[in-house]
A = this chain, B = another copy of it.
């Protein structure tokens, strides 16, 4: 059975869940800016607000240490439920490996009455369920990178997070093999951190079982930001030494092409027009 979504909203409290794109203010959707403007309280890393600039002036800014994602999502729901129009903000698309999913996981937990453990009998928040939630998508890093070098995502692609903090490595490894078997272009999110350095090399070795060492690879660091750097390399040459937590790593499929036109370089993934061209 299918159900049409009722559009009616009858809540008095509002939480915007907002993605602000890769960094360049000119890639922030007007809808995202409007959501920030409409909010009195912002829950975000300080860096993201710096990128947004003066639209954040006069708002109450709530920050929490890196890694406190659950606390951040709870705080956003609490603020909104208390009547403060709130924006939970991340860079990129907040729906892609970011905070949006956690908000709905917390709601789901409340709906299931699972709120009690581990925070005790008092961790029941029916008021969260009355918050009107609106998610505003943003341009993700893979898109900024693909556009910066041409058209790397021109055909079927996938994304894989290489962080095994929340996902068992076995699952990640299974997806790397599936990516190889399916010959998907792939963008790696969370390719490394200070403590995690081997995953990207293992990912490379797995993909090398399926596609050539000459496969084009983009390393896009701080994409669209002032200190952006773009490196063209190959799957065979991909190494964690050249990757940090600010780097988007995208690997072409077996047909992706790295082309050089004078001082300009591009990577594109053909869709199959060749026979018609």
- In the bound complex, residues from chain B placing their C-beta under 8 Å from that of A143 are 93, 95-96, 137-138, 140
B166 and A272 form a contact (CB under 8 A): yes
B178 and A150 form a contact (CB under 8 A): no
Copies in the complex: 2
Whether, in the assembled complex, A58 has its beta carbon less than 8 Å from a beta carbon of chain B, the answer is no
Give the complex CA separation of A190 and B166 in angstroms: 33
Task: Classify the interface of chain A: helix, strand, loop or mixed.
Answer: mixed
Number of interface residues, chain A, beta carbon within 8 A: 100
Whether, in the assembled complex, A47 has its beta carbon less than 8 Å from a beta carbon of chain B, the answer is no
Residue-by-residue, is A168-200 near B (CB-CB < 8 Å gives 1, otherwise 0)? Answer: 000100110111011110000000000000000
A148 and B166 form a contact (CB under 8 A): no
Whether, in the assembled complex, A209 has its beta carbon less than 8 Å from a beta carbon of chain B, the answer is no
Give the complex CA separation of A21 and B148 in angstroms: 17
B129 and A136 form a contact (CB under 8 A): no
What are 6 A-B interface contacts by the 8 Å CB criterion? A2-B232, A97-B155, A100-B268, A105-B273, A111-B261, A135-B146
